Structure 1
Amino acid sequence: MPYEPGATWQYDVPTTGSTHLPPDAGYGRALTNQGYGFEVAVADLIDNSIDAKADKIVVHFLRDAGRILTLLVIDNGNGMDEEGLDAAMTVGHRRDYGESALGMYGTGLKAASLSHASSLTVASRTRRSRAAGRRLTAEGIADSFRCDTVDPRYAQDLVDRYDGIIEWQGTIVRWDGVRAFETVARGQSDQFLSKAIARLEAHLGLYLHRYLQRGLKLDIAVWDVGSGEQGLGEEVDHIAVEALDPFGYKVPGKAGYPRDFTAPVEGLGDLRLTAHIWQAKSKQAGFRQVGSLTERQGFYFYRNDRLVQAGGWNGWRNPEGHLVLARVAVDLPSHENSVLSLDVKKERVTVTPAFTDGLDKATDSRGRHFRNYLADAETVYRDGSRRNEIVRKPVTPPGKGLDPKVKRVIKEELPEKPGEDPITFTWGALPSGQFFRLDRERNAVILNRTYRDDFNDGKRGGANDAPVTKTLLYLLLEDCFGLGRWERSRQDRLDYWNTILLSSVEALRTRRAQPLS
């Protein structure tokens, strides 16, 4: 309808034409400041791997001489040819996503990567195409969105290096110039990696727990390039990420739970809410190791089985201490809607009043209201608070060198001392009369590598080998760290422990040398 001058109001704004306005190079610089946390950014890369049908993924840190060099994410997914790589590296390109895809906006690879690294390289191959690669840099984007073509020989070499993962097809995403790595002082890389990997393991274990429970193999590894090891050797620090299920209790806090409620949401239809109540004072990893209990109460939104929000009441009510046992699983509709929307970083859901109105009307199959569930959760919490409980003494957390499964159980059973660097375990050269030595400045236990084969049945051990021996030493030696004054009696205790342990090794060797009767 043509515009009539003098009209006071109309619903449609009249136009007389259009023009195409390409993005200014300044938009590229905005990609480096999207507010992605490190763990969130890595998880975004892994989403792409899952969308590519990968069932084996490795997050690989490279280091050398006390420096952390770069980070790679390797997968055995479908891979990309030259055309696919160009599309993936195009800023603003949005491909057609299937209903089950984890990707949504087409910006995650670029924004997540350039928020942390000055250079993003992707090398890939498919079953029908040779290895190829592309590179984006912060400077290149500012220069009219320039994308560099990687030398195909290097792309092939990179793919070959990870042939234990990429057998026929797959993709490698590489970050260089990672800003967090460049701030780590020499000699501090061990501590930085230990904490960074622990946070990353917990985040990926939580947000991808449904995929991990279905068999996705997701590892975190560290390779010292100065050691001469190629790819992922046995000596590489290696962690298999395990599912951290926020609803993984063995017994619910109250009989009859979990319980499904249905919320009638205008503009969306009926939305299912699966309400859970944890046991009071549970020590299980899925309850304790997913962050602050107060922040983790509330709604857990999933999109295509990928957790996208872990806790929070989304304005329906405020978090309260007596509701820390209440967690509600909600699967978002696969189709886009105006009621529940997900942010670009895939870590928060925005709701409209239609959602909160629906919560007030939600009922279960017997007509009980959703607010009754909150009352049940509060009752379980208050009843548990009245029970007398033995308070266990906090410990210095276990770190690198101890099997991740053991570390998880220790964290479930014992509270941690805040601010303490983890205790690491390594094998080193020690005098023949010494089984172990403490390096209290580095919070490390050094075991005599002369005896390493004795605890690995003669096999080559990995970074997390001899779990029983290391666990027993952790329990014995944990209180020797974080002290001020070193007492003579404590040193005497270490001396006779060393002597007794050495005799146990000799006894083991003697038994193995005896012929079978």
Structure 2
Amino acid sequence: MSKQISVAPSARRLTTSLRDIGYSFESAVADIVDNSIAAGADKIRISIDFNGLESCVAIVDNGRGMSAKAVDEAMRFGSRRTYLSQELGRYGLGLKTASLSQCRRVEVISRTNNHPIQARVLDLDFIQSVDDWVTLDYSDEDQVKAQSELLGDSPGTIVYWRKLDRLLPVKSPEGGWARRRIEALGPKLSSYLSMVFHRFLSGESPTAVSIEVNDTRLQPWDPFARDEPKTEFMGVDEFEVEHGDITDTVTMKRYLLPSRTSFSSRESFEAASGIDKWNKQQGLYIYRADRLVQWGGWSGIRTIDEHTKLGRASVDFGTSLDDAFNINVAKMRVNLPSQLRKMLTRPVNELCIAADAAYRRENAKRTPQENDFPASKGEFGGAESGETIGLALRTAAARTGNFEALNAISNLLKAEMPELAKHLGFD
């Protein structure tokens, strides 16, 4: 009979390697915010304070808080807790891996209505010295009273990041460059969280949340500029996706944003460009349980193009399809299931045709130049006018949901009247 042999990994080595699984500062904070929302918080405050080597980041929420047992479980790598349907957590790693990707010391202070304050420390330097999976309980120490003042008399949780080795420069961590670097984190984080959690901030999600960064309340950033009068909603599509014995619905909503001159103001146009600007912000915005996990680009369906930058679409899936979407630990990347990618191809192409037409209309608003001569006319008239008609037909078909019918017509023309099909740009 074979015997079991325990081969527990080295805490020293694994904690070091887990620091580099793809988090940015912004996505690491977002992962902690996920935990706060899952704990029922409706107010989350984030502060980024520069004080040389003593600089710290604090994330404070007014959620349910945690008992001693719950705090210990939260500090475990690969928590054993069970996640509820539509809960933002996934692997039981976020608190630890997100935090340690930015710092060497994580302090968690938490209180529930019926339990005293609990305080735990996960310190990489200590783990390195003992090579064991341990945290430190400092609930009874005097410093906890001062640190927990941010909670007031209410339940909630505070996560402190200290020893910010990934954020402070190695040389001169006390100097002006270090200060500017830390102070620059706030605006970038605000823009990021305003996008990722925009449904929670706006109340569009059933869970409404207020988030502050350095005492400034965040406003939601809507990728689809739905407040703009000339934003065009192109309809809802639903797709059934199967994975193993799980079947669930994925919902897609398509939007055609206004061109620059059709926005209500220049400021609104610039704001709608997003953190990565117009070209990179076009494409699919993929949501898991109302939380944005991936944005920009067309997920392999087509490439980014200047002419289609006005097209954006939301794609929503529930947590039951996590395995199908292959969501990563940092919740920053998903892979579309192959069956879904095929189903999305038609509506994506329709959206891009409409976006291309809107872009061309915008750029056609120019004064004809002296050297602009009409194209030579063939049997069906000017080549340029033919392509314009073809583009108009494709756009109209896309916007009215008749793209498949137009495809059938174009195939018939290519077979029986190839010259006309070529003239219309259907070849």
- TM-score exceeds 0.5: yes
Distance 1:345 1:274 in 2: 25
| Deviation sequence 1:105-128 (CA, Å, 0-9, x none) | 100000011111010010111000
- 2:45 is aligned to 58
1:34 to 9, 17, 21: 21
Match for residue 316 of structure 2?
Answer: 331
Given that residues 279 and 309 in structure 2 are in contact (C-alpha distance below 8 angstroms), is that contact kept between their aligned partners in structure 1?
yes
Q: CA separation in 2, counterparts of 1:277 and 1:286?
A: 16
Aligned to 1:259: 235
Is contact 1:254–1:277 with CA below 8 Å preserved after alignment?
A: yes
- Secondary structure, in 3 states, of the residue corresponding to 1:336? helix
List aligned pairs for 1:325-364, cutoff 5 A: 325-336=310-321, 338-360=323-345
**1:173 corresponds to which residue?**
159
Alpha-carbon distance in 1 for matches of 2:249, 2:96: 36
Larger RCO (CA within 8 A; separation ≥ 6)? 2
> What are the ranges of 5 or more consecutive residues in structure 2 without an aligned counterpart?
368-427
* Residue 197 (structure 2) aligned to one of 208, 215, 224: 208
Cα distance in structure 2, aligned partners of 1:194 and 1:385: 40
The answer to whether the 8 Å contact 2:148/2:158 transfers is no
Contact 2:119/2:137 (<8 A) preserved: yes
| SS of residue in 2 equivalent to 1:345 | coil
1:86 aligns with 2:75: no
Name the CA distance, whole Å, in 1 between partners of 2:127 and 2:78: 12
Asked if 1 retains the 8 angstrom alpha-carbon contact of 2:53 and 2:164, the reply is no
Deviations 1:178-237 (A, max 9, x none): 12443155234553344211100000000001111124221112xxxxxxxxxxxxxxxx
Q: Residues 103-142 of structure 1 correspond to what in structure 2 (within 5 A)?
A: 103-142=89-128
* Counterparts in 2 of 1:305 and 1:337: CA distance versus 1, 3 Å: closer
Give 1:320 shift: 0.9
SS in 1 for 2:50: strand
C-alpha contact 2:225 2:231 (8 A) present in aligned 1 = no
What TM-score do the two structures reach when normalised by structure 1? 0.63
- Paired residue for 1:320? 305
User: Which amino acid is 2:65 matched to?
Assistant: G
**Bigger helix fraction:** 2
Alignment equivalent of 1:218, drawn from 207, 211, 231: 211
Out of 287, 293, 310, the position equivalent to 1:302 is: 287
State whether residues 48 and 186 of structure 2, in contact with CA within 8 Å, keep that contact through their aligned partners in structure 1: no
* Matching residue of 1:162: 150
| Cα 1:19/1:351, change in 2 over 3 Å | farther
Equivalent residues of 1:297, 1:323 under 8 A apart: yes
Share of identical aligned residues, percent?
Answer: 28
1:241 paired residue among 193, 203, 218 = 218
Per-residue Cα deviation, 1:134-172 (whole angstroms, up to 9, x for no partner): 101112333211211114244641454214xx4320111
Equivalent pair of 1:264/1:358 in contact (CA under 8 Å):
no
Shift of 1:334: 2.8
**SS of equivalent to 2:88:** coil
Q: 1:388 to 1:354 in 2, by over 3 A?
A: same
Within the alignment, does 1:371 sit opposite 2:371 as a pair? no
Matches of 1:253 and 1:180, distance apart in 2 = 44
- 1:265, 1:358 within 8 Å by CA — same for their partners in 2? no
Q: Which residue of 2 aligns with 1:387?
A: 365
Is the partner of 2:134 in helix, strand or coil? coil
Q: Give the 3 Å change call, closer, same or farther, for CA 174–382 of structure 1 in structure 2.
A: same
Letter of the structure 2 residue corresponding to residue 220 of structure 1 = V
Residue 176 (structure 2) aligned to one of 187, 190, 194: 187
User: What is the alpha-carbon distance in structure 2 between the residues aligned to residue 159 and residue 129 of structure 1?
Assistant: 17
Question: Distance in 2 between the 1:104 and 1:317 partners?
Answer: 29
Provide the C-alpha distance between the structure 2 equivalents of 1:159 and 1:56, rounded to a whole number of angstroms. Answer: 18
Deviation at 1:46, TM superposition (A): 0.8
Amino acid at match of 1:250: D
Cα deviation, residue 270, structure 1: 5.0
Q: Which amino acid aligns with 1:317?
A: R
2:7 matched residue in structure 1: 21
Partner in structure 2 of residue 478 of structure 1: none
Which residue of structure 2 lines up, in the alignment, with residue 196 of structure 1?
185
The answer on whether the counterparts of 2:238 and 2:251 sit within 8 Å (CA) in structure 1 is yes
The aligned counterpart of 1:275 is 254
Distance in 1 separating the partners of 2:360 and 2:79: 52
Question: What is the identity, as a one-letter code, of the residue corresponding to 1:325?
Answer: L
**1:74: which partner in 2?**
60
Aligned 8 A contact 2:106 2:162 in 1: yes
Equivalences for residues 453-472 of structure 1 within 5 A: none
Per-residue CA deviations over 1:282-312 (Å, capped at 9, x if unaligned) read 4426522332322211111111111111222
Q: Is the partner of 2:286 in helix, strand or coil?
A: strand
Matching residue of 2:401: none
The answer to whether the Cα contact below 8 Å between 1:67 and 1:186 also exists between their aligned partners in 2 is no
Deviations 1:462-492 (A, max 9, x none): xxxxxxxxxxxxxxxxxxxxxxxxxxxxxxx
**Aligned residue number for residue 48 of structure 1:** 35
- Are the structure 2 counterparts of residues 129 and 196 from structure 1 closer, same or farther at C-alpha, using a change threshold of 3 Å? same
Following superposition, the deviation at residue 21 of structure 1 comes to: 2.9
Distance 1:52 1:264, change over 3 A: closer
1:259 positional shift? 1.3
The offset of 1:20, in angstroms, is 4.1
The amino acid of 1:217's aligned partner reads: S
Over the residues paired in the alignment, what is the CA RMSD in angstroms?
2.5
Structure 1 residues 63 and 372, CA, compared in 2 at 3 Å: closer, same or farther?
closer
Shift in CA distance, 266/304, structure 1 to aligned 2, threshold 3 Å: closer
Note if contact 1:339-1:354 (Cα within 8 Å) is conserved in structure 2.
no
SS in 2 for 1:372: helix
Q: 1:349 to 1:196 in 2, by over 3 A?
A: same
Separation in structure 2 between the aligned mates of residue 336 and residue 300 of structure 1, nearest angstrom: 16
Q: How many residues align?
A: 348
CA 1:250–1:22: 2 relative to 1, 3 Å? same
CA distance change for structure 1 residues 16 and 322 in 2, over 3 Å: closer, same or farther?
Answer: farther
Tell me: CA distance 1:325–1:177, structure 2 relative to 1, closer, same or farther (3 Å).
same
1:333, distance to aligned residue in structure 2 (A): 2.4
Show the 5 A alignment for 1:404-423: none
Counterpart of 2:356, as a letter, is E
